[in-house]
Amino acid sequence: MEANKIEVKATANTVRVTPRKARLVIDMIRGKNVNEAAALLKLTNKGANEAVIKVLNSAVANAEHNNGLNKENLYVKAAFVNDGLRMKRMLPRAKGRGDVIIKRTCNITVVVAERN
């Protein structure tokens, strides 16, 4: 094994999907081949799919363009979702009160590496 394995990552910050829903999608592709992960994401009916596909394609493009890696040998080494900003909005209620609605965002990170 080589000691200097190249890892390439891509990140999307402040994606308007809740972290809990995005983690359901991310958990499906972790450890899979890049082509298999892309096919799996296209066939899954979840709201976070579009954002995760964009990040995955960006990581693959970074690996090909910046590091000269072969797309056929890439796999998803790590993929995780962290909490992003929380937007607080007010919803009017009775008697002049207001409820706070928290609109959550997430930061999606995908790391790809070459498998031998």
Nearest residue to 108 (alpha-carbon basis) of 42, 47, 53, 40: 53
Is the pTM higher than 0.85? The answer reads yes
d(CA 100, CA 103): 10
pLDDT tens-digit readout, 30-63 = 999 999 999 999 999 999 999 999 999 999 999 9
Is pLDDT above 90 for 4? no
* Domains of the chain by start residue, with CATH: 7-114 (3.90.470.10)
Mean residue pLDDT of the chain comes to 95
The full 3-state SS of 91-112, as one line of letters, equals: EECHHHCEEEEEEEEEEEEEEE
d(CA 79, CA 47): 17
- Residue written as tokens 């992003």? 84
